[in-house]
Amino acid sequence: MWGPHVVWEDPLVLLGCGVSRGISSSHAVRNRPIRSSASAGPAAMSPAAVWCAQHRLRFLLPALFLAPVLYFLLSPPSSPPFFSLPSSGEMPPSGSRVIWAQRRLAEWRPCGWWRTAPMPAPTTRNGYIRIDCYGGLNQLRRDLCDGIGVARLLNATMVLPKFEVAAYWNESSGFADVFDVDYFIEQTRGYVEVVKDLPVEIASKEPFKVDCSKRKGHFDYVETVLPALLEHQYISLTPAMNQRRDRNPSYAKASYCQGCYSALRLNRNVESKAVELLQAIPKPFLSLHLRFEPDMVAFSRCAYTSLSSKSLDSIEAARGEGRKVLTGDAAHLWRNRGKCPLTPSETAFILQALRIPTNTNIYLAAGDGLMELEGFTSVYKNIYTKSSLLTHEDFEKMHGNTKAALDYYVSVNSDAYIATFFGNMDKMVTAMRTMQGLQKTLVLSRRAFANYTASGLAGEQLAKAMWDAHREEYIRGRGSALPEHCFCEFKL
Ligand SMILES: *[C@@H]1O[C@H](CO)[C@@H](O)[C@H](O)[C@H]1NC(C)=O
Ligand SMILES: *[C@@H]1O[C@H](CO)[C@@H](O)[C@H](O)[C@H]1NC(C)=O
Ligand SMILES: *[C@@H]1O[C@H](CO)[C@@H](O)[C@H](O)[C@H]1NC(C)=O
């Protein structure tokens, strides 16, 4: 449903070549033995080997062509060329099985009640509402999702949401610049009415602004917002954070789920660019959301030793008032609560602990502001980014939101997705992958890493501990814990 989807004949075939594809609906496959790249190696003329051989060849040419570019962009002068074949020493020990091959006990799926339940149409029309959304793409979308639920709760007609893009992106892009407006209107038909234009009698008015920012958990929209809607007939609001959506009537909850996860897709322009990018990435591949960027590190208030002075300067530059680095006990506690972003080299360490082969194709879903990237690219060398795969001209024309949309799209359609943080993008990608049954999705545990390093573990011991922690999360379906009521745990 979410755009074109690259599908291979037999998902198992892929397992011979590294990361394997999520198994969307073929439940029959689940109990078949799954083997990792290391153990599947000698299958001389198996379909897997043939597939690998053919596809390696197909990607070899573009890879050779791109190699110098990527090498220039991603490698520090001292590291070996990225296109060198990994030596056998870099492969996981024989007999080891990549994290995805662990048999799961439970997984998350979209709950049946909202996918199939008939959705009652509003009995009244109480006025028009505009949802004002702020921040980066996935935060905008989160607000919009809440707004769809609110509109249904109030039996309000929605006008297209307003996207107030983060000032640092220096752009003015609206909902229609990223999402498919007609699709949204069509998909929400029956439970929320969405219009492009207001009726003439109110079109000239600015909406009455209702402030929800101070409201907390038990905020009741019907009690607090409905009177303003009825009085002014056209209001705007930004949904309150941390609201208790579970207390809403089920038709409002179902509208939230349907609107958020079934009614939004990228518009044709953005999607075709995203498809182009997806096609350019060698398959199978892992999308990795590294989030070691100056703003994030500054925001985290965590101290890091052994960063380059260049990185330290960028972090300082991004540090606003009141974002001083924590020190002493406070810093330890904070780190042990999993609040500190993983560095690229910590990420590479954990990925190896999860037995993800170092020759895996990895798409870096992140902006160009990543710091200390050598710590990752010196271990994982088959790295792709949107700026390396799209032409310069294409790229210059894009703004922050459409670039973020590309990362989103590629991550939702990748064979595997790993997040190093659990931010808005990770939540949205995790949810959309769950919608499609793509189970190879994991959020790395910053808490476990901090915990074990603080207690003195290092090297092999630390790798073992990280493996155990993530394996436990993965098999219990917890590694991608979904935040809302739209998803249900399913025992396998
Ligand atoms: C909205 O419509 C539903 C029926 O779908 C009705 O039960 C509810 O009371 C209405 N709420 C408001 C605030 O008008
Ligand atoms: C923001 O964009 C405007 C025009 O689109 C440009 O003139 C200006 O230099 C940009 N500012 C920054 C900080 O990039
Ligand atoms: C952190 O370490 C303590 C012991 O030092 C342990 O009891 C706890 O389970 C650990 N937590 C995690 C998330 O690893």
Question: Residues 57-99: pLDDT tens digits?
Answer: 444 444 444 444 444 444 333 333 322 233 333 434 444 689 9
Cβ 31 under 6 angstroms from ligand 1: no
- Token pair 């905008």: residue: 140
Tens-digit pLDDT profile for residues 274-307: 999 999 999 999 999 998 999 999 999 999 988 9
Q: Is the shortest distance between the CB of 222 and ligand 1 below 6 Å?
A: yes
Residues 116-150: tens digit of each pLDDT: 877 788 889 999 999 999 888 999 999 999 999 99
Give which of 138, 177, 423 is closest to 260, Cα–Cα.
Answer: 138
* pTM reported for the whole predicted model: 0.79
Determine the distance separating the centroid of ligand 3 and the alpha carbon of 242, expressed in angstroms: 28
**Closest C-alpha to ligand 1, atom 6:** 123
Nearest ligand to the CA atom of 168: 2
Q: Of the ligands numbered here, which is closest to the C-alpha atom of 446?
A: 3
Specify the pLDDT at position 179: 95
Report which of 132, 133, 154 is spatially closest to residue 220, judged by C-alpha positions: 154
Task: Choose the residue to mutate in 444, 446, 451 for probing ligand 3, maximizing ligand atoms within 8 Å of C-beta.
Answer: 451
* Overall average pLDDT of the 15-33 stretch: 32
Q: Is 154 in the pocket of ligand 1 (CB under 6 A)?
A: yes
Digit-coded pLDDT (tens) for 426-465: 999 999 999 999 999 999 999 999 999 999 999 999 999 9
Nearest Cα to Cα of residue 277 among 124, 145, 384 = 384
120 lines ligand 1 (CB under 6 A): yes
Of all atoms in ligand 3, which is nearest to the CA of residue 469? 14
The single-letter DSSP state of residue 287 is E
Ligand nearest to the CA of 191: 1
Nearest CA to ligand 3 atom 2: 451
Average pLDDT for 236-246: 80
Q: Could you count the other beta carbons within 10 Å of the beta carbon of residue 166?
A: 15
Task: Starting from the CA of residue 335, give the closest ligand.
Answer: 3
Say what the pLDDT of residue 240 is.
83
Nearest CA to ligand 3 atom 10: 451
Ligand 2 centroid distance, CA of 130 (Å): 28
479 with 473: CB under 8 angstroms?
A: yes
Decide: 24 in ligand 1 pocket, CB within 6 A. Answer: no
Pocket of ligand 3, beta carbon within 6 A: 447-448, 451, 455, 469
Residue 1 has pLDDT above 70, yes or no: no
Q: Where are the domains of the chain?
A: 57-110+269-292+341-491, 119-265
- Find the 166 Cα to ligand 2 centroid distance in Å: 14
The string of DSSP letters for 342-410 reads PPHHHHHHHHHHTT--TT-EEEE-S-TT--STHHHHTT---EE-HHHHS-HHHHHH--HHHHHHHHHHH
Q: What is the model's pLDDT at position 171?
A: 57
